[in-house]
Amino acid sequence: MVYRQRAIKEVFYEHLCEMYTEQLCPSSEALEGFLLEVYLLSLDSDSRESLEAHLSKEEVLAAIRHLKPAKTPGSDGLPVEFYHRYAEDLADQLLVVYGEALNAISLLAPMQEMMVGMVLKPGREPESA
């Protein structure tokens, strides 16, 4: 068991580094071999068109409506309540950002970020964590 605050931070840091270190990507041959062995369902043309279509403003608004209130803000620091209140004003800008992210080879840097924080139980001192 680790009790000293600095040692706790080091163990926590090492664990997160190990947990979120990128795994090596398999070779294209290995990936192709895997996909050939997997049973994949076929989509009808309507389903395919729906999945390949550009996002719509209505879909962005629906996603915002489904965000649960009173949750911790994301890396932008804005709470869910902000998105709920200004959904109509934000939808067009979010549509552009999400569309670019979906069309990019990889996600934008801010979309790859995460924050991890320890939340103490009520009545506990930080030193006891």
| pLDDT per position as a tens digit, 80-124 | 999 999 999 999 999 998 888 777 766 656 666 666 666 777 887
Structural domain boundaries enclosing 101: 54-116
Q: Is residue 98 part of a domain?
A: yes
Q: Which tokens sit at 113?
A: 């970020």
Q: Is residue 33 part of a domain?
A: no
Q: Is residue 81 part of a domain?
A: yes
> What is the rounded CA–CA span in Å between residue 91 and residue 75?
18
From 120, 50, 78, 56, select the one nearest 129 (Cα to Cα).
120
Q: Which tokens sit at 66?
A: 């489904």
Q: Is residue 69 part of a domain?
A: yes
Q: Is residue 77 part of a domain?
A: yes
> What is the rounded CA–CA span in Å between residue 37 and residue 31?
10
pLDDT at 2 over 60: no
Q: Is residue 83 part of a domain?
A: yes
Q: Is residue 129 part of a domain?
A: no
Count structural domains, the chain. Answer: 1
Predicted model pTM: 0.51
Please, which pLDDT band fits residue 60 given cuts at 50, 70 and 90? very high
Share of the chain above pLDDT 90, in %: 24
Instruction: With beta carbons less than 8 A apart as the criterion, state whether 69 and 81 touch.
Output: yes
Q: Is residue 87 part of a domain?
A: yes
> What is the rounded CA–CA span in Å between residue 88 and residue 65?
11
